Amino acid sequence: MEFRPCLVRSTADGGIEKITLGHPLLDDYLVFVAARARTNTWLAVAYDLKVFFEVIGKEPAVVTTADVFVFLSSLRAPRRGERVVRLEDGEAGLAARTIARRLSSVRGLYAYLCAREDAGVRRNPVPASLAARRPGARRGRGGVPLIRTPRTLPRVLAPAEVGALRAALRTHRDRAMVDAMVLGGLRRCEVLGLRLEDLSAGERRLFVAEGKGGRQRVVPVSARFFAAVGAYLESERPRASATRQVFVVLKGARRGEPLSAAGLDEILEGARGRAGLERATCHQLRHTCFTRLREAGMALEAIQAQAGHASIESTRIYLHLANGWLEKEYLRAAEAIEAQAGPPAGGASR
C-alpha cells in the first residue's frame, strides 16, 4: 500500500502546538519527539520523515534496508546538474551533514517502532554502518559509515569585519543582538529566547533559559552589550508590547511581537551587504566570540561553560581556530627540542 505524507502544523498563541504527517504511527512518534526535543528539532524530524516517505512511498512497516539505500542515493543525486558541485566538499547532492541528519531522523523513528512492538517492525532498516570487512571484527566496530561527514573548521570574522558589520546596523536592538553573539557567544535561538527577567545588568550576566539540549546556564557578557540593550529598551522597544521577550519587531503589522529567526537573519543579511562582507552569519559570530576568547588565553573549560557545550570535545575546535595559541605552543616546544640538540653543526668557535 502506497503512503504519501502531508505535513500539517497547528499553531496556538504564536507557537506550534501540533505537527502531523497523516499516518498514526508517524504522528505518535512526532508526539514522542515533541515531549523531549526543542521546536526546531521537532520540525526538522517531521520534515526529514516527510521527505523520506515521499521518496519511498511505502507504509512504515514494510520499509526495507534496500529502500534506505534508494533514499540515500536520491539525496546524493545532483541538485543543479552533473557539473555543478559545492566548493566546500565537491559534492553535487545535499551536504553530508544534512544527509546524516535525515538518516538519523529515520533511524530514530524505527528505533521507536521497534520498541513499541505493536507496529509490525522487528528490526531497524537503517544500519548505523556497513559491517567491517576484516574477518573476526565485531559488528559495529570499525565498520564503514553510511555517510562520512567532513570535519571542517568554521569560519570566523576578523576584528575589522566585526567592526564594519556593527557599524552597518541601524538600531540599538540590532547592535545588542549582534553583541550578544559576538561578545557572549549566544546562539541565535538563545538571543531570541531572552526574556526581560533574564538580563542582570548590575552583574553583567545573562540567564540562558532555553539552551541547546534543554541546558540552562548563566553567562557573563561585556558591558558593551548592556549599553546597547539599555539604549534599545529605553528608546526603541514599544511600551505597549505584551511579550516578555527582550527583542521584538519595531514596526509594521507585527510591531511589539517577538522577533523571529527569519527576521534576525534578514537584519544580519542587510547589514552584511551594507558592510561589504562576503560572510556574516549568526553562528559565525558565535564562533568568532570563542575564538577570540581562546586567543586571549581563556581556559578551554571556561569556554565550554560559556558556550553551553555538553562535551569539551565540541569546544576543542577553538584550539585549531586560535592560531596564535598554536603558534606559541609550537615555538615553545621547538625551542625546547633545539636546546636539547645542542649547537648546530659547524657552529662551534675555533
User: At residue 317, does pLDDT exceed 90?
Assistant: no
pLDDT tens digits for range 136-173: 555 545 566 777 766 677 789 999 999 999 999 999 99
| Helix axis angle, 261-275 to 172-182, nearest 10° | 90
Buried b (16+ CB within 10 A) or exposed e, 142-180: ebeebbeeeeeebebbeeebbebbbebbeebbbbbbbbb
**Phi and psi at residue 210, to the nearest 5°:** -130, 65
Let me know if 212 is a catalytic residue: yes
Please tell me the distance from the alpha carbon of residue 127 to that of residue 292, in angstroms, as a whole number.
Answer: 40
| Helix axis angle, 65-76 to 96-116, nearest 10° | 160
Residues contacting 283, CB < 8 A, separation 6+: 154, 187, 188
Q: Catalytic one among 101, 187, 237, 272?
A: 187
Q: pLDDT higher for 138 or 18?
A: 18
Let me know if 47 is a catalytic residue: no
Instruction: Map residue 117 onto helix, strand or coil.
Output: coil
Mean pLDDT of 262-291: 94
Mean pLDDT of 19-48: 93
Would you tell me how many other CB atoms lie within 10 Å of the CB of residue 271? Answer: 21
- What percent of the chain is predicted at pLDDT more than 70? 87
User: At residue 326, does pLDDT exceed 50?
Assistant: yes
Please tell me the distance from the alpha carbon of residue 288 to that of residue 333, in angstroms, as a whole number.
Answer: 27
Please tell me the distance from the alpha carbon of residue 72 to that of residue 337, in angstroms, as a whole number.
Answer: 50
- pTM for the whole structure: 0.74
Q: How far apart are the first and last CA of the chain?
A: 93
Contact 211, 158 (CB under 8 A): no
Let me know if 23 is a catalytic residue: no
Predicted confidence at residue 330, as pLDDT, reads 80
Predicted confidence at residue 342, as pLDDT, reads 67
Q: Catalytic one among 173, 175, 286, 294?
A: 286
C-alpha cell at 121: 517492525
The sign of the dihedral angle between the CA atoms of 96, 102, 108, 114 is: negative
Which strand (E) or helix (H) includes residue 100? helix 96-116
Please tell me the distance from the alpha carbon of residue 110 to that of residue 125, in angstroms, as a whole number.
Answer: 7
Q: Which residues pair with 205 in a beta bridge?
A: 200, 220
Which strand (E) or helix (H) includes residue 287? helix 282-295
pLDDT tens digits for range 196-251: 999 999 999 999 998 887 789 999 999 999 999 999 999 999 999 999 999 999 99
Let me know if 172 is a catalytic residue: no
Please tell me the distance from the alpha carbon of residue 30 to that of residue 109, in angstroms, as a whole number.
Answer: 9
Q: Catalytic one among 23, 102, 172, 309?
A: 309
- Three-point CA angle 94, 103, 25, nearest 5°: 130
Q: Catalytic one among 4, 123, 283, 328?
A: 283
Let me know if 187 is a catalytic residue: yes
Predicted confidence at residue 86, as pLDDT, reads 47
User: At residue 288, does pLDDT exceed 50?
Assistant: yes
Q: Catalytic one among 76, 155, 205, 212?
A: 212
Please tell me the distance from the alpha carbon of residue 327 to that of residue 307, in angstroms, as a whole number.
Answer: 24
Question: Rounded mean pLDDT of the chain?
Answer: 87
Let me know if 251 is a catalytic residue: no
- What percent of the chain is predicted at pLDDT more than 90? 63
Please tell me the distance from the alpha carbon of residue 276 to that of residue 179, in angstroms, as a whole number.
Answer: 19
